[in-house]
Structure formats: C-alpha cells, structure tokens
Amino acid sequence: MEIPDEVRRELVIQAPQDRVWRALTEAEQLTRWFPDKAAEVDLRPGGAIRIEWQDGEFDDGMVEVVDEPSRFVFLWHGAGFDSPQTRVEFSLEAIDGGTRLLVVGSGFSKVREDKRASAWKDNDGGWTHELGELKTYLEAA
C-alpha cells in the first residue's frame, strides 16, 4: 500500500481569526485543546516548540514560518518515529461568522519505511481528533 505524503484537514470554526491564531500559537492556549500536560512555543522562525502529554509522550520541533494571523508552520519530530521531521502548516482565513482553517501535515514519504504507515495513520487520526477538540474549545467560549 502506498502511503500518502500528507494529511490534510479543513474545517470552519465559529470564532474570529485572531482567536484561532492564539489557540494555535500560544502555549497556554495550546494546552487547553492539544497536549494534556504542557506546551512551549518560541513564536519566531527558528524558535523551539515542544508539546507534552501526561503519558510521557512528547513532540519537539522548530518554528519555520510565522505570518500572523494567517499562517503558522513548524517542523516536528514525534516520539513515535525517526527523522526526518514532518512539517505542519496551519493556514487561517477569516470568513463570515468565523475562520476557515486548513491543516497540512507533510513529509511522510521521508519517514523511515518501516515506520511510515504508522506515522501517517497516527497523524491522520490524530489531527481529526485534535481539530475536533480545537473546534469544541473555541466555539464553547
């Protein structure tokens, strides 16, 4: 089975673009919907990003692009697979009544072959779940 190089998710969130931006880029906001333990974000190109879960899992990465409030990109190295890093790109667009968010995780073709399928599957399901959490968090307030 051929594994796609990317995972794509698009959704509309009934919240202003600047609020969605903060939920994606501020450590305190991230921990309200993504990791359940801690987050660190040095919001500048070359800055570090770290996301931690209670079960001991973590993801480390590096911020690549910060184009507030419309584009945020980082490379990360998940605990579950070897280098090279994969790339996560968030694109935000203000629309009537909210924000259109496109998330593209890419670079799976560069993941070691014996780990590629599980890395893609984990990200495919993971982004579906996590973006649901983001939508719930932002629309509940």
> Each residue of 4-44: pLDDT tens digit?
999 999 999 999 999 999 999 999 999 999 988 899 999 99
> Each residue of 106-117: pLDDT tens digit?
998 888 888 888
Is residue 62 within 8 Å of residue 49, measured between CB atoms? Answer: yes
Question: Residue 99 to residues 11, 57, 93: CA-CA distances in angstroms?
Answer: 8, 30, 6
Closest CA to 24 of 14, 10, 34: 34
The pLDDT assigned to 82 comes to 53
Decide if pLDDT at 93 tops 80.
Answer: yes
The structure's pTM equals 0.91
Cα separation, 42 vs 53, whole angstroms: 19
Our CA dihedral for 82, 60, 138, 33, rounded to 10 degrees, sits at: 80
Instruction: Catalogue all structural domains in the chain, each as residue range(s) with its CATH number.
Output: 6-140 (3.30.530.20)
